[in-house]
Amino acid sequence: MENLYGPFCDTEISYNERLSENDIRSYVEKDKPYECAGSYKYESHGSELFSEEKGIF
């Protein structure tokens, strides 16, 4: 599995360390990510949950 994508895909995502309960509740209310992998919709408001993104997406 490690070589499945070869050199074509390299990603790193870091969660924001300071999310308050209110931030999380607000996000869930906006995006309703109940059926998403990882419970976030990165392409929508889910990107706001992260402090840093690196790599090829």
pLDDT, tens only, 14-55: 666 788 889 889 988 998 888 887 777 877 887 777 777 666
What total of structural domains would you count in the chain?
1
Q: Residue 46 domain-assigned?
A: yes
pTM for this prediction: 0.56
Q: Which domain holds residue 27?
A: 10-55
Q: Residue 14 domain-assigned?
A: yes
pLDDT tier at 3 (50, 70, 90 boundaries)? low
How far is 4 from 17, CA to CA, in rounded Å? Answer: 31
Q: Which residue has the tokens 């070869």?
A: 6
Q: Residue 18 domain-assigned?
A: yes
Q: Residue 51 domain-assigned?
A: yes
Q: Which residue has the tokens 């990107």?
A: 47
How far is 25 from 11, CA to CA, in rounded Å? Answer: 27
Residue 20 backbone dihedrals phi, psi, to 5 degrees: -85, 165
Q: State the Cα torsion 48-53-55-57 to the nearest 10°.
A: 0
